[in-house]
Amino acid sequence: MDLEPALPPSPPKPKRRSAEVVLHAAEVEDTRLRKPVNTLAMQPKSHRITVLGRKVWNKLLKEAQRQGMDEETHSSPLREIVRGIDFNSKDVEQVKKHLRAMITTLVEWQSPTKGEGAAWEACAMLAHAKLEKRRGGEVWVEWSYAVNMRQELLQPFVWADLDMEILFQFSHHPALALYEICARYKGVGRTPRQDWNWWRPVLTGKPDGEKTANFEYRMFKRDVLNKAVAQINQISDLEVELKDYKEGRFVKDIQFLIRPKKQRSLLASIDGPVDLALLNRAEALDIDPEKAETLISEFGPEAFQRGLDGLERRVKSDFAEPVRDSYRYLKSMLPSEAKIVVAKIEEEAARADPTSPESRREQEARMKEWNDKFKTRIREELIAELQALPVEQQAVIAGELLEDLTRRNAHASILKRLQTSGWNHNLVRGEMIRFYGLRSRGEGWDEPTAEQLLQVAAESRPA
């Protein structure tokens, strides 16, 4: 979860290219999945959801969204569904096993953000599934979704924008499930705060039962949370940090702090037009220009150039075996080359401004803007509530405010203005907002939750 508006902005229109390049562009773009928010925190009630099952379900959803609402059932060659997934077995029985589990696994669909879904929903992950051989002997898979979920699944109103290539890399369900949630909230910098017991079935993919009723938090943290966070930080574009909150001596709630990975955020700042010379060099090494542009965008032109240098040296070397796939070889080199570039950027940034890197300033400025907007909004709401009250009730609250100000030894001018001009006077209004906010909403009334920040940020996103 990128921090998305109700409807994320449409991607920019691609430049006109040759038919062959347009085909490659479509392949790259097809790695994005618009996953509805109510599918991010599925709570299984009958059977376990495995990491492979979740990956296959994501692929089925991606393909169903492509086919659209006009199709009540969807079908695709099985090889397309398992392509890119760590599915090494050729035994169709294994495929049947996972499809059968999706049909029989009852889940409760929910968003991590409280109250975001319009209604509570529960049904199986799939309504039906079928494998059959079609013309040419190729195996196809057919599937459908429950009627009450089709619209939300295929044409979601609010979704997380996920990169399937990153999802494919996860080997554990807790890490995959947590990453999907964190990806949605990466713009706001933190997930919603929930009771740790809420997270347990969501991340493990296992229904709660008698065995988990007495499960201790320290074990959940050791065996599930820490491992999930470690895998996300190792292989994804995010850095995630667990934060827990105690009630008395025991942990009650947890949430996750989210930051874009420093390497990627620094490299992303290297902006400008793509150097055509780099694309020509890549094409000479049998790397498609569209894929080359994607790598340049992800790792930066300097790291890409360093990678091309290494690839050219490898091609010209006396190794016994030639490079079988130039693109994959180059892509495997770029993370280490990018680290070298990042180290240079950090060194230069440290010399220029050791305390405030540009990326951190921008993030802090954005968070401050959202916080300020929230505080302005909540104050306006409180004033509107007060003004809507009967005059007699306003007078009672003003009397209580006077007692509170007197007890706190407020300045005499404020007490006088409250008694002579009322609570809406400029000198008094701020005190009334504080007093009424605390009384009507409790401690922390002017501190936004992750959900409230999400809403402000969504409304602040340009149309």
Question: How confident is residue 23, by pLDDT bands cut at 50, 70 and 90?
Answer: very low
Mean pLDDT along residues 396-403:
92
Question: How confident is residue 328, by pLDDT bands cut at 50, 70 and 90?
Answer: confident
pLDDT of 256 > 90? The answer is yes
Could you identify the residue written with the tokens 């074990």? Answer: 219
pLDDT of 240 > 80? The answer is yes
pLDDT of amino acid 144: 94
pLDDT of amino acid 200: 92
C-alpha span between 194 and 254 (Å, rounded): 6
Summarize pLDDT for 117-168 with one digit per residue, the tens. Answer: 555 678 889 999 999 888 888 889 999 999 888 888 998 888 888 988 888 8
Percentage with pLDDT > 70 across the chain: 77
pLDDT of 366 > 90? The answer is no
pLDDT of 451 > 70? The answer is no
Percentage with pLDDT > 90 across the chain: 21
pLDDT of 275 > 70? The answer is no
Contact of 185 with 191, CB cutoff 8 Å? yes
**Which residue did the predictor score with more confidence, 442 or 242?**
242
pLDDT of 315 > 90? The answer is no
Least Cα distance to 449 among 185, 240, 238 occurs for: 185
Q: CA-CA distances (angstroms) from residue 26 to 13, 20, 394?
A: 12, 10, 62
pLDDT of amino acid 19: 32
Question: How confident is residue 363, by pLDDT bands cut at 50, 70 and 90?
Answer: low
Question: How confident is residue 14, by pLDDT bands cut at 50, 70 and 90?
Answer: very low
C-alpha span between 351 and 117 (Å, rounded): 48
Question: How confident is residue 61, by pLDDT bands cut at 50, 70 and 90?
Answer: very high
pLDDT of amino acid 460: 61
Question: How confident is residue 254, by pLDDT bands cut at 50, 70 and 90?
Answer: very high
Contact of 258 with 191, CB cutoff 8 Å? yes
Question: How confident is residue 2, by pLDDT bands cut at 50, 70 and 90?
Answer: very low
Question: How confident is residue 26, by pLDDT bands cut at 50, 70 and 90?
Answer: very low
Mean pLDDT along residues 423-451:
83
Q: What are phi and psi of 8, to 5 degrees?
A: -60, 150
- The average confidence (pLDDT) of the chain is 79
pLDDT of amino acid 18: 34
C-alpha span between 357 and 262 (Å, rounded): 11
**Which residue did the predictor score with more confidence, 31 or 271?**
31
